[in-house]
Amino acid sequence: MDERGHPTLRAFHAPAYGLHDGGRVLVFSEELARMFGYVQIESVVGRDILGFVEPEHRHTTVRLALREPGQPVRTRGLRADGSSFPMEVSGYRVQYQGRVAQLLMVRDVSPLAVVVDDDNIVKNLLAALMRMAGYQTCAFQQPERLLQEFEPGIVSVLVTDIQMPGRNGIELAAELRRLDEELPVIFVSGFSTSPLPQGDARTRFVPKPFGVLDLKQALEKLPARACCELR
């Protein structure tokens, strides 16, 4: 998502809401529609609510939701493009337009990757590749913007260019690690005059040009936190 309009990092941990009548969607918030990859909310209203759950998880999801109303249930959502993602769903009975309905609170609990690159095209490409790898992404062109929002423990992995005007990627990672010592980092660069950190299990380097497989291989070599679902 573009830096000028992205939600705060904390917002990626917050749920979006919807309403259903036990079978069909009554209301989908914009945030929830976006989570499932839909641009127009009108295309979602009236659809079978279980159509938003991966088929092999539907029976288990319904059984757990009925057994533990109001308790978060972990399952897998199904996006408009057919891809799936881990989600946490809580359901509550409410009154809606004079009848009983179910309020859904849904969280995408995919790992959260923060992408930093001063080149807008490369930044957006890198964010797209991380989404292909199964991550929620929040992208920044300016390291200072990230520093303003950063909190310990809410980011799964930092993916940053090295050569940037002002604060470079290595300096950015060092500053963030003063706040969050165990933050996993992937540096991407075609050329760098800055010495790279050596012998650090929290750090990987991916040379440009690269693709989603290169990023996945680097992620697999990082500590488990880099790939863990959000809490």
pLDDT tens digits, 175-198: 999 999 999 999 998 765 555 656
- Domains 14-108 and 112-227 equal at CATH topology level: no
219: CB partners within 8 A, 6+ apart: 133, 157, 186, 204, 226, 227
CA-nearest of 99, 136, 76, 115 to 19 is 99
Provide the pLDDT for residue 76: 97
The reported pLDDT for the residue numbered 5 is: 54
Sequence spans of domains, the chain:
14-108, 112-227
Question: Which residue stretches of the chain have pLDDT < 50?
Answer: 1-4
pLDDT the model gives residue 65: 85
Say yes or no: domain 14-108 is CATH 3.40.50.970: no
pLDDT of residue 1: 44
* Main-chain dihedrals φ then ψ at residue 212, nearest 5 degrees: -65, -30
Beginning with the edge strand found earlier in the chain, give each strand of the sheet holding 203-207 in spatial order: 136-140, 112-116, 157-161, 185-189, 203-207
pLDDT reported for residue 193 = 54
In CATH, what is the architecture of 112-227? 3-Layer(aba) Sandwich (3.40)
- Say what the pTM is: 0.86
Rounded to whole angstroms, the Cα distance separating 93 from 86 reads 23
